[in-house]
C-alpha cells in the first residue's frame, strides 16, 4: 500500500512539474511592484499589476505601474483571450529573465487585475 501511495505522489508531482512549471506547483507568485521586480534575481516567480503602454516587437511590450516601467515578453498563446489596451489594468504572472545587460518578465499568464 505504501508503494502505491509513493508512486501516486511521485506521479502527481512529476505531472505538475511537467505541465505547469515548478514554481506554479509549489506556491503563488510573489506580488511585487515593477521597481521591486527589476531588483529580483533571475527566475524569480512574480506577479505585477499595471498597464501595457506600448508594443515594442510582436511579443515584447513596455509595461508600467506607479513605480516604473519594464519590458515584458508575452507570447501570443499566453493572452488567453484577455483584451488589453493602454487603459486596462492587467496582472502578469511569470519569471524574471535577467541577462548580462537586460531584465524582463517572461510572462506565463495574463489576466485582468482584481479591483
Number of H helices, E strands in the chain: 3, 6
Q: How far apart are the C-alpha atoms of 90 and 27, rounded to whole Å?
A: 21
Give the pLDDT confidence of 21-39 residue by residue, as tens digits: 444 444 589 999 999 999 9
Candidates 51, 83, 54; CA nearest to 68 is 51
Residue 72 is inside which H or E element, if any?
strand 68-73
What are the cell numbers at 34? 515593477
> Which overall architecture, per CATH, does domain 29-112 show?
Beta Barrel (2.40)
DSSP H helices in the chain = 2-20, 22-26, 34-37
What are the cell numbers at 62? 513596455
- Report the predicted TM-score, pTM, of the whole model to 2 decimal places: 0.75
Angle among Cα 23, 25, 30 to the nearest 5 degrees reads 45
Domain boundaries, the chain: 29-112
Given a cut of 50, whether residue 91 has pLDDT beyond it is: yes
Which position has the higher pLDDT, 7 or 110? 110
Give the pLDDT confidence of 2-23 residue by residue, as tens digits: 555 445 444 554 444 444 444 4
Amino acid at each position: 500500500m505504501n508503494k502505491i501511495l509513493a508512486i501516486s505522489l511521485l506521479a502527481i508531482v512529476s505531472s505538475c512539474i511537467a505541465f505547469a512549471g515548478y514554481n506554479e506547483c509549489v506556491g503563488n507568485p510573489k506580488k511585487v511592484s515593477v521597481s521591486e521586480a527589476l531588483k529580483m534575481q533571475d527566475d524569480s516567480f512574480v506577479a505585477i499589476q499595471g498597464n501595457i503602454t506600448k508594443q515594442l516587437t510582436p511579443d515584447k511590450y513596455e509595461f508600467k505601474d506607479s513605480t516604473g516601467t519594464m519590458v515584458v515578453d508575452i507570447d501570443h498563446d499566453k493572452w488567453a483571450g484577455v483584451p488589453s489596451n493602454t487603459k486596462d489594468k492587467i496582472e502578469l504572472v511569470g519569471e524574471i529573465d535577467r541577462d548580462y545587460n537586460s531584465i524582463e518578465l517572461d510572462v506565463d499568464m495574463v489576466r485582468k487585475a482584481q479591483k
